[in-house]
Chains A and B, each alone.
Chain A
């Protein structure tokens, strides 16, 4: 019987682990946003804003990219958390096997992992939001608001990665998933340019990807009232429904694949 109390025990354990290991991770949490905001936002932004780009953006390029990057970074973080640590828990360190011989169930374990994942994603997105405000990409209010849609998108990827990783024997496929799924999404889901810039036949593909909905929702929340080409005509409820549906389905699948793996 899965309960919230049980899931929170796992959250507590993950938090204690994070307290021990944050120093190693904090570099990527801080450094990646700084590099991307500086390189893509400020430097590339100067060129774009001079009007040499084809799309005439109603907001500075730095603002456009920052709202895309916060969601794309959350995707990357979520995928990473749902990938290697899951294989470690199952195969390398086997810590999950230690948990399922306590009164906690597999569902408690997965719930705890994903609740902690949401907290961690909110924190990492919060760091990004603060840096975006420091860079002048966003006002502090909108920057903080953008944490919610970004973390939501990140959680969708973490849940999906968890369901997938729990079926793997080694991390070869994870490296490939990163190369051939995460990187293309990062580049072509509207993070760095409006998807109206894509060739017509590619546009529907972009609409179908989860990162597009996360990026779009982040922009709608952080930049209310700003229209095309920063956001598309897709209704907001579709963006929300897409992400919520993906989280729900992936969550259920994650519990199922973890059960099959840990309770043979």
Chain B
């Protein structure tokens, strides 16, 4: 992995001369019977960027990933991957992809090494090359000591790292990660983020789907927010926070039922307000002035928290909850 193993130098050279998108979708649509999973979306993924698809479960993220990996035929619209059509050039596209699916699909009866080996063979890589890459990838995934261990005996975090290592065996030009850290404990998530960040530093192009906002903020250069099959926003994490949220958020926690009785007193505070069950989020560019005003009006809250606005606020704003503004 030392010499940027994921993007072969000859290819990244070509890519620099032609900055055409690696993936391009126009009016991309996927239907299952009457159900529209992906509803005429447009996006472009450029070489070298980490591109995120955010959205709640069922937003259409995985369906989009499956169309890019050529395993799901598109219903309508246009999709090119590496400038190729998934319908005609599926095998060629897949030979340049690394795919990390939502659910691990390793051969649990085989060892760590054997899983990497057979995947290399599926990619028609010569055996000596596979052996060399296995060494690099074991190092990368911090699984050197586990090389002879059967996959069923690995922890969730280790299995996940192995799935990612396996996806890199063909030195892909594009790595697709569908919810890479869902279901992992915080330690395992941070180890994974380190690995993914390193991949990014080495120039790999990444597509990441997630519903963790911190993950998107950590890893994505650019992202789209999907909801009900549509793209509802697009930009860098910072741009989206600026556009759809405010600099700061003041969270007030109330005693059960006390939100209703305090609504009058809260009226008109901040730039925007969101009332949840026993909490009210007030979006503002000046938290200090807002807090003074809250005290002046005698709002009866139990706890107060002031924090920086995050992508999560953007997400909740765009994909909806009970809103008052």
Co-complex (A, B): yes
Residues of A that sit less than 8 Å from B by CB: 1, 5-6, 9-10, 12-13, 16-17, 20-21, 93-95, 97-105, 262-264
Is A100 a contact of B107 with CB atoms below 8 Å?
no
Which residue of A6, A20, A101, A264 is within 8 Å of B69 (Cβ)? A101
User: Which residues of the other chain, A, contact B114 by a CB distance below 8 angstroms?
Assistant: 16, 20
Binds A, one of B41-49, B87-95, B315-323: B87-95
Is B95 a contact of A103 with CB atoms below 8 Å?
yes
User: Which residues of the other chain, A, contact B69 by a CB distance below 8 angstroms?
Assistant: 101
Interface of chain B residues 98 through 136 with chain A (CB within 8 A)? 99, 101, 103-111, 114, 117-119, 121-124
B73 CB–A CB distance under 8 Å: yes
Chosen A-B contacts, 24 in total, with CB atoms closer than 8 Å, are A1-B91, A5-B124, A6-B124, A9-B122, A9-B124, A13-B122, A16-B110, A16-B114, A21-B109, A93-B105, A93-B107, A97-B101, A97-B105, A98-B99, A98-B101, A98-B166, A99-B122, A101-B94, A102-B94, A102-B123, A103-B91, A103-B123, A103-B124, A263-B71
B97 CB–A CB distance under 8 Å: yes
Query: 7 smallest A-B Cβ distances: which pairs?
Result: A94-B105, A102-B122, A101-B99, A98-B105, A13-B118, A103-B91, A103-B95
The answer to whether residues A103 and B94 also contact, given A12-B121, A13-B118, A264-B32 and a CB cut-off of 8 A, is yes
B182 CB–A CB distance under 8 Å: no
A51 CB, min distance to chain B CBs, angstroms: 51
Measured CB to CB, the nearest residue on chain A to B166 is A98
B72 CB–A CB distance under 8 Å: yes
In the bound complex, what is the Cα–Cα distance between A98 and B94 (angstroms)?
Answer: 11
A9-B124, A101-B69 are known; give 6 further A-B pairs, CB within 8 A.
A13-B118, A13-B121, A17-B109, A94-B101, A103-B91, A104-B122
Is A105 a contact of B121 with CB atoms below 8 Å?
no
B307 CB, min distance to chain A CBs, angstroms: 39
Which residue of B66, B106, B118 is within 8 Å of A12 (Cβ)? B118
In the bound complex, what is the Cα–Cα distance between A101 and B81 (angstroms)?
Answer: 14
In the bound complex, what is the Cα–Cα distance between A17 and B90 (angstroms)?
Answer: 27
Mask: chain B, 53-76; 1 = CB below 8 Å from A; 0 = not: 000000000000010011111000
User: Which residues of the other chain, A, contact B111 by a CB distance below 8 angstroms?
Assistant: 20
Is B119 a contact of A102 with CB atoms below 8 Å?
yes
B102 CB, min distance to chain A CBs, angstroms: 10
Measured CB to CB, the nearest residue on chain B to A5 is B124
In the bound complex, what is the Cα–Cα distance between A21 and B111 (angstroms)?
Answer: 12
In the bound complex, what is the Cα–Cα distance between A21 and B152 (angstroms)?
Answer: 13
In the bound complex, what is the Cα–Cα distance between A21 and B108 (angstroms)?
Answer: 11
Is B122 a contact of A103 with CB atoms below 8 Å?
yes
Is B73 a contact of A20 with CB atoms below 8 Å?
no
Measured CB to CB, the nearest residue on chain B to A98 is B105
User: Which residues of the other chain, A, contact B91 by a CB distance below 8 angstroms?
Assistant: 1, 103-105
Which residue of A12, A94, A102 is within 8 Å of B103 (Cβ)? A94
A221 CB, min distance to chain B CBs, angstroms: 35
A46 CB, min distance to chain B CBs, angstroms: 43
User: Which residues of the other chain, B, contact A262 by a CB distance below 8 angstroms?
Assistant: 71
